[in-house]
Amino acid sequence: MKQRIVTAVVAGAGFILFLILGGLYYAALIMALAAVGYYEYTRMNGHPPVRLTALIGFLFTLYIAFPWESYPEWSSIPRESAIWLALFLLFAMTVISKNKVTIDQAALVFLGIVYIGIGFHYMISTRLGVHGTYWTLMTFGCIWATDSGAYFGGRAFGKRPLWPAISPKKTVEGALGGIGASVIVALCFSFYAPELLSWSRAIGLGIVIAIVGQSGDLIQSAYKRIRKIKDTGTILPGHGGVLDRCDSWLIVFPFIQLLSLIPQ
């Protein structure tokens, strides 16, 4: 527990510093997380990271994650075109290799590109958008409050399992505690800047972020259970890997942006 707390404090402080600095500093940090996350993903799936299909996945993950729209002076192709090109190249690899690269392997790589690339992209684009520091801090605050509320709520009141086949330790009471904590944090941001976030919208955002965030956690838990692993990596002592720590982030940021719940 001590190691977990120390890692959380040190890593959290560093992350917040880069978030406040913004610009390419924050983008570079998120890109680094995307690179490590993709490496963990390939290793988790037993896919050698030096294989050509994995390298294609790595390059396209980083390309899709980067906020090209914020730097129009840099030549780039549209993100949806890059996703299609990745799909085409992976299909082509199955033909060129005479099915030594199977369709299942190609599909796993493509899934990783979309899951990791788009998830981390929206973390960057939210920060680079209008009032980006405010909205990014609010979103992360709600995510972290959900984790804490679910943990402490579950320990204090947890009786009914939430989804025992996927994550036996999670409880309904813990999930409700996470939602309550997320709403409280969102309301704090509303009181700080009511012109940006009304109290009613804050309640809705807090609920959505908590539910979607816990869904992201369950998605990663289900995946790890299939692969029979506890953590995706060891880069964060006491917390596991990047994907372990960012499972909620990768789902929440795209979800709230795609529904236009916060401005970009």
Residue 2 has phi, psi (to 5 degrees) of -60, -45
Q: Are 71 and 126 in contact (CB under 8 A)?
A: no
Query: What tokens appear for 12 in the block?
Result: 């959290």
Residues 86 and 185 reside in one and the same domain: no
Residues 117 and 155 reside in one and the same domain: no
Please choose, from the candidates 173, 241, 250, 256, the residue with its C-alpha nearest in 3D space to the C-alpha of residue 207.
Answer: 256
**Residue positions counted in the chain:** 264
Q: How far apart are CA 122 and CA 111, in angstroms?
A: 17
Residues 43 and 166 reside in one and the same domain: no
Q: How far apart are CA 177 and CA 135, in angstroms?
A: 22
Write down the pLDDT at residue 213. 95
Residues 4 and 117 reside in one and the same domain: yes
Q: How far apart are CA 252 and CA 139, in angstroms?
A: 8
Supply the mean pLDDT for the chain. 89
Domain boundary among 98, 128, 158: 128
Question: pLDDT at residue 181 above 70?
Answer: yes
* CA 203 vs CA 139, 238, 252: distances in Å: 13, 32, 16
Residues 159 and 227 reside in one and the same domain: yes
Residues 154 and 221 reside in one and the same domain: yes
Split into its structural domains, the chain has a count of: 2
Q: Are 203 and 185 in contact (CB under 8 A)?
A: no
Q: Are 101 and 93 in contact (CB under 8 A)?
A: yes
Residue 49 has phi, psi (to 5 degrees) of -65, -15
Write down the pLDDT at residue 263. 63
Residues 116 and 161 reside in one and the same domain: no
Domain boundary among 128, 150, 168: 128
Domain that holds residue 38: 1-128
Q: For the beta carbon of residue 222, count every other beta carbon within 10 angstroms.
A: 14
Residues 47 and 172 reside in one and the same domain: no
Confidence of residue 228 (pLDDT cuts 50, 70, 90): confident
Write down the pLDDT at residue 212. 96
Domain boundary among 103, 128, 153: 128
Q: How far apart are CA 140 and CA 244, in angstroms?
A: 15
Q: Are strands 161-163 and 167-171 parallel, antiparallel or unpaired?
A: antiparallel
How many CA atoms lie within 13 Å of 215's alpha carbon, on the beta-carbon side?
A: 11
The pLDDT of 179-200, averaged and rounded, is 96
Residues 171 and 227 reside in one and the same domain: yes
Residues 187 and 208 reside in one and the same domain: yes
Residues 124 and 137 reside in one and the same domain: no
Q: For the beta carbon of residue 173, count every other beta carbon within 10 angstroms.
A: 18
Cite the beta strand spans of the chain per DSSP E. 161-163, 167-171
Q: What is the pLDDT of residues 126-154, one digit of tens each?
A: 999 889 999 999 999 999 999 999 988 88
Question: pLDDT at residue 184 above 90?
Answer: yes
Burial 48-58 (b: 16+ CB within 10 A, else e): eeeeebbebbb
Write down the pLDDT at residue 239. 65
Residues 222 and 171 reside in one and the same domain: yes
Provide the terminal-to-terminal Cα distance of the chain, rounded to the nearest Å: 37
Question: pLDDT at residue 90 above 70?
Answer: yes
Q: How far apart are CA 220 and CA 166, in angstroms?
A: 9
